[in-house]
Every structure is written in C-alpha cells, then in structure tokens.
Structure 1
C-alpha cells in the first residue's frame, strides 16, 4: 500500500517495546520490552480486513489491503 493510514490501534501491553523485528515464520512482529520480555504479535488477516471494512468504514482501504495481502 502506498499510504500510511492507521487501520486499527490497540494496546497489547503496558511495557514499552523498544526493539521489533519481522517474525518470518508467521509474518507477525517480535518485540523486546524494557523488562526484557519477548513478545510476539500476529494479525489475523481476514479479521483485519473485515474490521477495516465494517467497523472503521474504510472500504477503499480494506479493498486495497485485501489485494496487497493476496499477492
């Protein structure tokens, strides 16, 4: 996608994450917190597309995201 649009925002922990990298096995994100905890965050792609389309009411962005994920 060629634009930077916030599609969904949620808090997953209270600690500050200071380093992240791509989890190549799941295409999610691995992070390390200031408390030395390793966290992983994966996205359910179909759920994100449905959320963007139905809840956020951003049909155009949902269609473009769906097309980008299918590649």
Structure 2
C-alpha cells in the first residue's frame, strides 16, 4: 500500500488476443498503438506482437494501483 493513497497495490499479468481481418490490419494496429506505450508508469509494462492476423498484448503490473491497470487495458 502506498502511504498517501491507502489503496492496495497489485501484481497482475494480462494477455489479450485480438483477431483482425488480416495480417496487414494486425500490423497496422500495432504500429498505431506503439506511441501509447512509451513513458509507462513505474511497475507497468506492455508488450505487443502479431502472428498472422492475431495481435497479442501483454500487460504486466508489479505493485501498481488497480486504477492504473484498468486505465492501461
């Protein structure tokens, strides 16, 4: 728990699989999302990849407040 917020912090890992119509659309989605994943809050990381028409987004949080995790997803 942080001293100033008194809210519990969480450790969490979430992987989302998002299907697209084709591989080109999947690559375009990743390219569009890259700017959103810079300067992440401490303890939060996002990794993205595509395989054929499926985009995988992995969000990992370590000692981060739930609201930060929800806003990221």
For the aligned pair, the TM-score class normalised by the smaller chain equals under 0.3
TM-score normalised according to structure 1 size = 0.26
Structure with higher RCO (Cα < 8 A, 6+ apart): 2
TM-score normalised according to structure 2 size = 0.25
